[in-house]
């Protein structure tokens, strides 16, 4: 659990996403996890670089299958067997990867998918589990489906009223029974931040974990944060739809979402999608977090960057230049400018600094390629003076040299941001819960 910025768990997992234009070296990420006490990780796909780096690392792995693969796996036992052989058996035996779970899809029953994956998720789960058993891995590796918390709801608004959504009720009962019969975990993604993001009237304190919120009383139980309330809504749903009573003798496994920011994620749900990380894109510390036992976050080591230079708006460039707006739009079409959004870490810049930020993000995303700063109608120049503001949460980035550039440096500004997109605090952390033994 997270209470007042302190983590109270014996072991801690994280989600490691790979949708970045300039990803950290997998070896650096694995060391980052080890340095910060993460002993479990969920991957959204069986990325070869990530899987090989996790070999013999001592980190337990949940390896994911993307939703766009579900149809093929649902329709072919052979396809499931081939996937298990290539992505589970191979890495277990040849690379020493400690794979514990296979995550079949990711939140496939989201309402926004309009039932695209509703009929194929369960058959895909069954085929993957059967393939694991055939490969002799059924006792050690379990198949599960990471589900969004919107698979259950409460008509009363209280946790005790929890039940599965009516449109997938029977399907959820079947899935829960199947994973329980196979000794697998039930995996639920709970997003305290999104409760706050979706409702302007949502009580802010209730999205945090410091216990300062006015309690929500449900019978004899009081809730002071949305995470606990949401979790118990799930428990109530399980109690109502199964003959047994859910067993909760120990805390569930907890996976924080996410380890590192991903600047190439879709922002259709919101700009925040690129800023879930506990760490910035390069493994630097975003905000203070006490990991328990007096241990604080440790930044990534051995990161190499592109040259220490930035692309900014030229001092003599005119803010009234008719090409300026289009130049900024072009830059932000091909680079991540979400930190310029309202309320974000760079949202308060003046017009010239705003343009400089956009130009620089494009320049860095293009690997500082020759000509990439000069294309903005003579509005931009390259500088070796850090344009960032001291004591500001707005960072003018220099990208990671994915070709292992020899020059090392610390990024220009590393203040701990406390605004929305670009620098999330604790209520923007998603917890992935693995709830085991859900049925008697």
Mean pLDDT of 60-83: 98
Question: String of b and e for 302-332 (b: at least 16 CB within 10 Å)?
Answer: ebbbbeebbbbbbeebeeebeebeebbebbb
Mean pLDDT of 285-302: 86
> Is the pTM value of this prediction over 0.75?
yes
Q: Which residues pair with 101 in a beta bridge?
A: 62, 142
d(CA 361, CA 387): 12
Q: Over 50: is that where the pLDDT of 73 sits?
A: yes
Among positive and negative, which fits the CA dihedral 300, 348, 257, 217?
A: positive
Mean pLDDT of 327-348: 95
Which secondary structure element, helix H or strand E, spans residue 324, and what is its range? helix 324-334
Looking at residue 12, its pLDDT comes to 86
Say which of 45, 52, 81, 107 is annotated catalytic.
Answer: 107
Q: What is the percent of the chain with per-residue pLDDT over 90, rounded to a whole number?
A: 69
The closest of 4, 36, 63, 435 to 238, measured between CA atoms, is 435
d(CA 154, CA 159): 7
Q: Over 50: is that where the pLDDT of 437 sits?
A: no
Give me the chain's average pLDDT, please: 87
Q: Rounded to the nearest 10 degrees, how much is the dihedral formed by the CA atoms of 74, 268, 225, 436?
A: 10
Looking at residue 360, its pLDDT comes to 98
d(CA 289, CA 80): 40
Q: Which of 30-34, 65-69, 172-176, 266-270 has the lowest mean pLDDT?
A: 266-270
The closest of 197, 257, 203 to 229, measured between CA atoms, is 203
Annotation marks residue 107 as catalytic: yes
Residues 6+ positions from 322 with CB-CB distance below 8 Å: none
Contact in structure between 189 and 257 (CB atoms under 8 Å): yes
Structure tokens at 6: 């302190």
79-134: per-residue pLDDT in tens?
A: 999 999 999 999 999 999 999 999 999 999 999 999 999 999 999 999 999 999 99
1-18: per-residue pLDDT in tens?
A: 443 344 445 568 999 999
Mean pLDDT of 414-419: 37
């Amino acid at each position: 659990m997270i209470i007042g910025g302190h983590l109270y768990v014996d072991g801690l997992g994280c989600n490691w996403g790979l949708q970045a234009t300039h990803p950290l070296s997998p070896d650096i990420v694995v060391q980052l996890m080890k340095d910060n006490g993460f002993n479990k990780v969920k991957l959204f796909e069986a990325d070869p670089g990530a899987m090989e780096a996790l070999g013999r690392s001592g980190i337990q792995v949940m390896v994911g299958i993307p939703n766009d693969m579900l149809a093929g796996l649902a329709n072919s036992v052979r396809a499931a067997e081939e996937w298990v052989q290539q992505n589970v058996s191979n890495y277990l035996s040849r690379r020493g990867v400690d794979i514990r779970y296979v995550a079949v899809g990711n939140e496939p029953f989201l309402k926004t998918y309009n039932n695209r994956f509703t009929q194929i998720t369960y058959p895909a789960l069954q085929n993957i589990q059967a393939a694991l058993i055939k490969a002799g891995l059924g006792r050690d590796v379990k198949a599960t489906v990471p589900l969004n918390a919107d698979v259950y709801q409460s008509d009363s608004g209280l946790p005790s009223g929890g039940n599965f959504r009516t449109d997938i009720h029977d399907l959820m009962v079947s899935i829960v029974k199947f994973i329980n019969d196979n000794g697998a975990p039930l995996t639920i993604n709970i997003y305290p931040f999104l409760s706050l993001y979706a409702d302007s009237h949502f009580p802010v304190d209730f999205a945090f974990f410091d216990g300062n919120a006015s309690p929500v009383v449900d019978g004899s139980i009081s809730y002071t944060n949305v995470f606990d309330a949401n979790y118990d809504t799930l428990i109530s749903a399980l109690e109502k739809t199964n003959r047994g009573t859910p067993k909760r003798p120990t805390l569930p496994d907890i996976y924080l979402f996410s380890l590192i920011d991903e600047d190439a994620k879709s922002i259709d749900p919101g700009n925040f999608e690129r800023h879930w990380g506990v760490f910035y894109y390069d493994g630097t510390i975003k905000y203070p977090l006490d990991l328990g036992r007096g241990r604080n976050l440790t930044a990534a080591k051995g990161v190499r960057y592109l040259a220490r230079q930035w692309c900014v708006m030229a001092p003599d460039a005119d803010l009234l230049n008719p090409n300026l707006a289009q130049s900024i739009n072009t830059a932000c079409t091909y680079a991540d400018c979400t930190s310029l959004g309202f309320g974000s870490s760079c949202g308060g810049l003046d017009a010239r600094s705003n343009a400089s930020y956009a130009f620089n993000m494009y320049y860095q995303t293009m690997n500082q390629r020759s000509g990439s700063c000069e294309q903005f109608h003579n509005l931009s120049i390259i500088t070796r003076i850090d344009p960032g503001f001291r004591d500001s949460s707005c960072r003018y980035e220099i990208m990671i040299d994915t070709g292992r550039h020899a020059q090392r440096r610390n990024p220009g500004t590393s203040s701990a941001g406390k605004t929305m997109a670009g620098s999330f605090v604790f209520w923007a952390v998603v917890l992935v819960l693995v709830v085991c033994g859900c049925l008697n």
